[in-house]
Structure 1
């Protein structure tokens, strides 16, 4: 291609300086947060969840949130019916375990979006753990209730 081609546009020196400056700022932020940051600094974050590998032998967990309504029906509380994304819940799981009263907000979110449904009386965070050997499931599975909120606790 010829530099004199009328279909090509040239970047002016000021435009080039702006682009280089923005690139340098982004690079500096990514570098700084790699050493001194946390995942909360998104999009300039170290993404620690990707920075280490898991053992091939041990337990792998899958977290879910379940509810029991006043009619005794048990069901999963999904993003579609509560507005809470699974990743958000898993990221805050430690807070819910430390203070199960916070699960009340998930029940309220469900009830606000489903006012015609029976009221929730219990919310649980349950982790299903799969035993791994050499990175493959052995078939051994356990379920652990990690946090529970009941409406009676709210009274």
Structure 2
């Protein structure tokens, strides 16, 4: 019988996170060239669809803030999404200089924009009772380290 110590299991978890990070990086590179909209464009579409589902609006500036990118890069991304028939723009009645970003096709499913997220949600349903809280805590700590890097 093999006994796995806490230290060994923590190394196993750290290696699993590193494999995940490498897979995410490979996916991001593939999406830049082979798979349609970039990761940021997919994230923007999810935000636009979620806001529309809530009956709320979103501006390009809010999208830039949510994604942590410049408004200039969001402008180019939104132009490409608009040219692709995924979004439209409507004037902000409260501020004529501002516009809202709206989805063209409200039958679109936010999960269809990013099927990886949909699959991950399916897997999360299989987590044992109580495990989700531990996974969330661990992944949030990993995310904080990643977000703090190079700032």
Computing the radius of gyration over CA atoms, which structure comes out larger, 1 or 2? Answer: 1
More relative contact order, 1 or 2 (CA 8 Å, 6+ apart) = 1
- TM (normalized to structure 2)? 0.26
Query: Which has a greater percent of strand?
Result: 1
Query: Which has a greater percent of helix?
Result: 2
